[in-house]
Amino acid sequence: MGAGDGVARTAALLRALADAEPGGGSTSALARAAGLPRATTHRLLTSLAGVGLADRDRATGAWHVGPELYVLGTAASRRYDMTATAQPSVRRLADLTGESAFFSVRRGDETVCLVREDGSFPLRSHVLHEGARFPLGVVSAGMAVLAHLPDEEVEAYLERSDLAAAHGPQHAPDLVRAHVARTRQDGWATNPGLVVQGSWGMAAAVFDAHDRPVAALSITGVEHRFADERRPELGRLLLREAHALGGRLRDRV
């Protein structure tokens, strides 16, 4: 195994640790999530714990992210943290729509939720939460980002990904392509309960100074809150906030 492979395995395990919070994860569960053998996972976790990047609860045996990651994250946040800039937009969407609102950023082939604000409507979707990761093309945020990539990047992504295997036949390549086309036509993405039945979402992409989709604002809720007559209004709100947020993020650079 080369050095690059070792780094990739460690990175996959650290992501699995983060996804397992706040309850932590067992060695076996983390091995499955990271796609690693159990013995390799235990060896890596022990090594990470030795340098403070992982921690184990002595009472439960569950593994958690370690205190050193907090220190590293604090340093990284000075350059990469966008949550404070995005928070007003997320809160405004939650207040104006009554739905749960989110800010997610693109990280490679995934979107990662960083901010959540719940609206006033009492029934909520729990698909998204801070730290939740989904592949591009899955959930409305991932679809909004994917749809605004160039065609050749969309096709390359679909060739190397098997969304249907992990997220169901409703994410087969031809259906994702149709969803991309609809998102480009509307300007916003709509997830009509494709991940969890009855849980709908809508999202608009946020662009950087080079007009690349780097993030998304989204809202989620129960199906009847996303009726045909209401979706255009929700879409316009999302686009307005996404455009304003993109401008604020560009001003930070």
Q: Can you tell me which residue has the tokens 């947020």? A: 245
Residue 6: per-residue pLDDT: 84
Residue 197: per-residue pLDDT: 87
Provide φ and ψ at 70, rounded to 5°: -65, -45
Q: What is the CATH number of domain 81-252?
A: 3.30.450.40
Indicate the domain borders of the chain: 3-75, 81-252
Residue 145 CA to residue 212 CA, distance in Å, equals 9
Which long-range CB contacts under 8 A does 185-192 form with residues at least 24 apart?
A: 186/235, 187/235, 187/239, 188/144, 188/234, 188/235, 188/238, 188/239, 189/140, 189/141, 189/143, 189/144, 189/147, 189/216, 190/140, 190/226, 190/231, 191/139, 191/140, 191/143, 191/220, 192/223, 192/226
CA dihedral 125, 131, 133, 137 (to 10 degrees): 60
Element (H, E) at 103: strand 100-107
CATH of 3-75, picked from 1.10.10.10, 3.50.50.60, 3.30.43.10, 2.40.30.170, is 1.10.10.10
Q: Can you tell me which residue has the tokens 């979402």? A: 201
Q: Digits of tens for pLDDT over the chain (253 positions)? A: 555 678 989 999 998 898 888 889 999 999 998 999 999 999 999 999 999 999 999 999 999 999 998 888 777 766 666 888 999 999 999 999 999 999 999 999 999 999 999 988 876 666 778 888 899 999 999 999 999 999 999 999 999 999 999 899 999 999 999 999 999 999 999 999 988 888 999 999 999 989 999 999 999 999 999 999 999 999 999 999 999 999 988 876 5
